[in-house]
A = this chain, B = another copy of it.
Amino acid sequence: MATNLGKALHHAQHEVVQVYSRTEASAKALASVLNCDYTTDVARVAMHADMFVIAVKDAALPSLAQVLMQGREQQLLVHTAGSMPMDVLPTERRGVFYPMQTFSKDKKVDFSVIPCFIEASNEEDRLLLFKMGKTISDTLYELDSENRKYLHLAAVFCCNFANHCFDLGAQLLKLHGNLPFSVMLPLISETANKLNMMPPRQAQTGPAVRWDRNVIEKQRMLLSDMPDLQRIYELLSQSIHNHSMSQ
């Protein structure tokens, strides 16, 4: 997140004043890309900036914010975490800038298509975050902490859980027939692309939505020696059926 957001800000001609990270290697690597100063000592973090963006894992956020706040009581602190409320920041001027995307170090992303969700403790900082956001993303929304929690949860289903379904499919392919996972890519791509035409409820296909008990039972039995996959198969098939009934 820090890497991708930093690059996007730098690319949009914002001045990144300084990078702080606990490890020298990552601080140095990012600072060199952003052409700026870096430190691994929180006591040497700059005292003034238009905003201090904290992009760390959720568990590290509260304590880091507490430390950073010292001497910066009048500064704007911003975090980037989908699942954390704005109030985890102890300053009076605080905000959230949550770019909803899946980041992997090895894969470059086009930041402009990433929807970003903004929250701020006062109107001036809200405008500042929107102004900054507009320079790096085409899609900005204002969203409060309570609704952002659910947005992040929805993203877990749409990204993390969907990807795990791909992984379970890959596992089955590996064990049977010796086919490369690439055979699945057109299907996966079409499954994603369909959503530009219709909502997922309408796009649902397969034995579970048809409630073809014969196929479902046969597929369930194919997973007899993989009880974890079998349980997931049962639960998701039942859920697809229940949702199609309540349509």
Q: Footprint of B on A, CB under 8 Å?
A: 57-59, 83, 100-104, 106-107, 109, 113-115, 139, 141, 143, 146-173, 175-177, 179, 181, 183-210, 212, 214-215, 218-219, 222-223, 228, 231-233, 235-236, 239-240, 242-243
A183 touches B232 (CB 8 A): no
A218 partner residues in chain B, CB cutoff 8 A: 83, 149
Assembled-state Cα–Cα distance A158/B168 (Å): 8
A162 touches B186 (CB 8 A): no
Nearest CB on B from A178, distance (A): 8
> Nearest residue in B to A192 (C-beta to C-beta)?
B192
A186 partner residues in chain B, CB cutoff 8 A: 100-101, 113-115, 139
Nearest CB on B from A81, distance (A): 9
A57 in complex: contacting residue of B179, B192, B210, CB < 8 Å: B210
B172 touches A205 (CB 8 A): no
A165 partner residues in chain B, CB cutoff 8 A: 157-158, 161-162, 165
A192 partner residues in chain B, CB cutoff 8 A: 188-189, 191-192
Nearest CB on B from A100, distance (A): 6
B243 touches A236 (CB 8 A): no
Could you jot down 19 A-B contacts, CB within 8 Å? A58-B215, A101-B190, A102-B194, A102-B206, A150-B172, A151-B173, A154-B168, A154-B184, A159-B205, A160-B204, A160-B207, A161-B236, A163-B203, A164-B200, A169-B200, A170-B199, A189-B192, A232-B235, A232-B236
Nearest CB on B from A154, distance (A): 4
A177 partner residues in chain B, CB cutoff 8 A: 143, 147-148, 150-151
A206 partner residues in chain B, CB cutoff 8 A: 102, 156, 159-160
> Nearest residue in B to A197 (C-beta to C-beta)?
B107
A205 touches B154 (CB 8 A): no
Instruction: Given A103-B205, A173-B150, decide whether A57 and B212 contact each other with a Cβ distance below 8 A.
Output: yes
Nearest CB on B from A64, distance (A): 15
Assembled-state Cα–Cα distance A43/B185 (Å): 41
